[in-house]
Amino acid sequence: MKIALCGNCKDFLQSNHDEKWRCFKDSREYERSASIVLEAADAGCRLCEAIVLKFRSLQSDLLSPSQTNAQPVRFQLLIRPYWNTNMQSTEDIDRPFLRVSISQQRIEFRLWRVPDILTAEGAAYDDHGTGSETSFAKAKEWFHECVLKHDNCNGVNTPKNWIPSRLIDVGSRPPFPDTIKLRQTKGWQTSVQYAALSHCWGAVQPFKLLQRNVHVLMSGISTVDLPKTFRDAIYATRKFGLQYLWIDSLCIIQDSNEDWDFESSLMTHVYGGCLLNFAAASSSDCMGGLFRDRPPSYLGSCFISVESQNDAFMSYYQLWDQDIWPVEFESANLNKRAWVMQERMLSPRTLAFAKAQVFWECRCKRASEEFPSGYPIESFEIGQRDFKQPHLQNKLKVHALNHHADGRLGDDHIPRLSLAWHNLVMLYSRKDITFEEDKLVAISGLAGLFAAQMGTDYFAGLWKPTLLKDLLWEVDVDNSVTKRPLKYRAPSWSWASVECPVKYLPGWIESNQVTVIDVKIQTVSQNQFGRVSGGYLQLQGKLFSDFCVVFEEGSHYSLKKRGLNGNSLVAYCTPDERARFTDSQVEILCLPLGSYVDTTRAMGDLYDCKGLMLVTQRNQPRGYYKRLGIFEAAQPAFFKDPNNQAPIERYVEGEEDMIVVL
């Protein structure tokens, strides 16, 4: 298949393509005037067209007609090594990139080698929008391939014959009615296939299920009375030949705390049991709809070809803009929502309607109209090849996690699950949530799934088998002000107690210096993974007193011992609530948890002492505390020198204490 390229692009690509190995090689920079690039794009050169559209999508005027006499356009081919999650280079993987620069701005395309057949498949698309027949035809191909061939995607997350309490009946066959009906499924003898919808509610919700209108919806309402996103979801459900649809605002009674608590505890089953999840990725509210007209900057699949001068052999490459998935899908309005994270990860298949194209995500494949045959595995392999999750791969989209990974974890599934949970928490803590009291509820479906592997001892976001490691979360906000909510949401030792992103460092605890005596959580409802009204953590260990926190330049904090060598440095620390602590503040106490093996250090593992900073809890008996942050005692050699003990251990003050953290 011949691909339209201008003479300049043909010469540049051919001169930097190895004849023997049929692959690209590093090149020097090659300059071309902006006017020549614009003329070639207008004349149909696919590469020049892609470059012009990419710069324009960045709101850049560097390749506009008014700037044709400005800076030249610089082309360069780069070959980069592939790095796995243990920072090991895989030299036999050829990863060519095309860099295009104008002045100080530059763009890059990954040049992905493809067979000839893919150039024909991917080149065809229409410009009638993401709700077109062409888009649905491609989506159905992904769907049928997944249902028929992907074993992991057909794993069952729900009990046999389980059905959501309510479903929306959109009609079984054309001609479809102008009304939809709410069905109560109690008493149904067999399960049914249904789709689900992920969407942003927005500031105003025009129509939702309330106690007073349940019978109205059961009798039937006109689709005209529904917001556009719901109408589009009904249309999509019918296009896939499904009769039932689940939408949270229409299938949960929104003004009944009892119904809301019960139904919200079933999200593992609701989304895990749906056949397909539609995602209104680009809509900020329920009026935005699923479908979009394609923007002028959308090019579709773009290919280039290089002809061998020796034997006329054609090598084909797809221009892969690696910003597309993270910008158009990951950063879409919908995927910024906390609730949607578990909807996306639990559902076996997601069809996301974004601003320019449709995206597909299942447990085995990611694709789009730009990459209809599936995105290259390297784009999502970080954390996958070196961090397999055999216990989760048929239950959720593990590849949706940006993993910290450590290939040395071996086959012990608890450390692997713990690492996966920490990555979930880090990702989740960066999401937006309208009602802060939903912090634990909106991840409860994922917690329920993990409980099948980790055990049901779950404490406001932390797990019994890995409790000490789970306690070592820290806020991740640089100089931003952080605070805890005024209304109680979780114990101070839970990451859910702060209103900011948190992070975990990969590694593990050795030489525990505390003993867990007891942990208790009071839940608001029967959902053990949902809202909590109280709780405590009882530990036995050595508590060290009379410390203060000092703010250092560059947003760093230090923990110092009062009255010793002018407040000598003891440790580095991360307060949960970012304020400038002073010596006059109430006394800070430190509780070492153990030696922490930090596997992120470039020079090898480092064994630090890590623990909790505590403060006395007001109006509580002696021995009751609140978490203030975490500390890290560096300089591990101190632990091995009997004449110069580690800074924390220099202040041993008697026997082990019984400590209760609220």
Q: Could you tell me the CA-to-CA distances from 264 to 167, 244, 500 in Å, in that order?
A: 15, 19, 23
pLDDT higher for 573 or 100? 100
Model pLDDT, residue 477: 76
- Across 164-311, the runs of DSSP E, i.e. the strands, are 166-169, 179-184, 194-198, 221-222, 244-246, 276-279, 303-307
Mean pLDDT, residues 537-555: 79
Model pLDDT, residue 152: 85
pLDDT (tens digit, 9 = 90+) per residue, 281-339?
Answer: 999 999 999 999 988 778 788 999 898 888 888 889 999 998 899 889 999 999 999 99
Q: What are phi and psi of 219, to 5 degrees?
A: -75, -25
- Three-state DSSP state, 518: strand
234 and 225 Cβ atoms separated by less than 8 Å? no
Highest mean pLDDT, choosing among 173-177, 406-410, 509-513: 173-177
Q: Report the share of the chain in percent with pLDDT over 70.
A: 81
The encoded tokens of residue 182 equal 């709410």
Model pLDDT, residue 652: 46
Query: pLDDT band for position 388 (50/70/90)?
Result: low
374 and 363 Cβ atoms separated by less than 8 Å? no
Residue 438 has pLDDT above 90, yes or no: yes
What secondary structure letter does DSSP report for 329? I
Distance of CA 37 to the CA centre of its chain: 38
The encoded tokens of residue 386 equal 């070196």
Beta bridge mates, 640: none
What secondary structure letter does DSSP report for 554? T
Cα pseudo-dihedral 448, 450, 454, 456, rounded to 10: 0
Query: pLDDT band for position 114 (50/70/90)?
Result: confident
Q: What are phi and psi of 414, to 5 degrees?
A: -65, -50
Model pLDDT, residue 588: 86
User: The whole model's pTM is what?
Assistant: 0.89
As a 3-state breakdown, the chain gives helix, strand, coil percent values, each rounded to 5, of 30, 25, 45
Residue 368: name the closest of 275, 285, 430, 279 by CA.
279
pLDDT (tens digit, 9 = 90+) per residue, 124-170?
Answer: 555 679 999 999 999 999 999 999 999 889 877 777 789 999 999 99
Model pLDDT, residue 651: 46
Query: pLDDT band for position 635 (50/70/90)?
Result: very low
Residue 395: name the closest of 161, 153, 197, 143 by CA.
153
Highest mean pLDDT, choosing among 203-217, 459-473, 476-490: 459-473
pLDDT, the chain, mean = 84
Helix axes 338-346, 444-454, angle to 10 degrees: 50
Highest mean pLDDT, choosing among 314-323, 540-549, 596-605: 314-323
Distance of CA 389 to the CA centre of its chain: 16
Q: What are phi and psi of 95, to 5 degrees?
A: -125, 85
Weakest mean pLDDT among 36-50, 61-75, 510-524: 61-75
pLDDT (tens digit, 9 = 90+) per residue, 1-44?
Answer: 568 899 999 999 999 998 777 788 888 999 999 999 999 999 99
299 and 50 Cβ atoms separated by less than 8 Å? yes
Mean pLDDT, residues 379-394: 54
- Three-state DSSP state, 190: coil
Residue 53 has pLDDT above 70, yes or no: yes
The 3-class secondary structure across 131-185, one letter per residue, is CCHHHHHHHHHHHHHHHHHCCHHHCCCCCCCCCCCEEEECCCCCCCCCEEEEEEC
Burial letters 223-241, b for 16+ CB under 10 A, else e: eeebbbbbbbbbbbbbebe
Domain residue spans of the chain: 7-114, 148-295+324-428, 457-662
pLDDT (tens digit, 9 = 90+) per residue, 171-199?
Answer: 998 899 999 999 999 989 888 999 999 99
Highest mean pLDDT, choosing among 20-29, 225-234, 577-586: 225-234
Mean pLDDT, residues 492-508: 91
393 and 363 Cβ atoms separated by less than 8 Å? yes
Reading phi first (left if > 0) and then psi (alpha if -120 to 50, else beta), residue 591 is in: beta
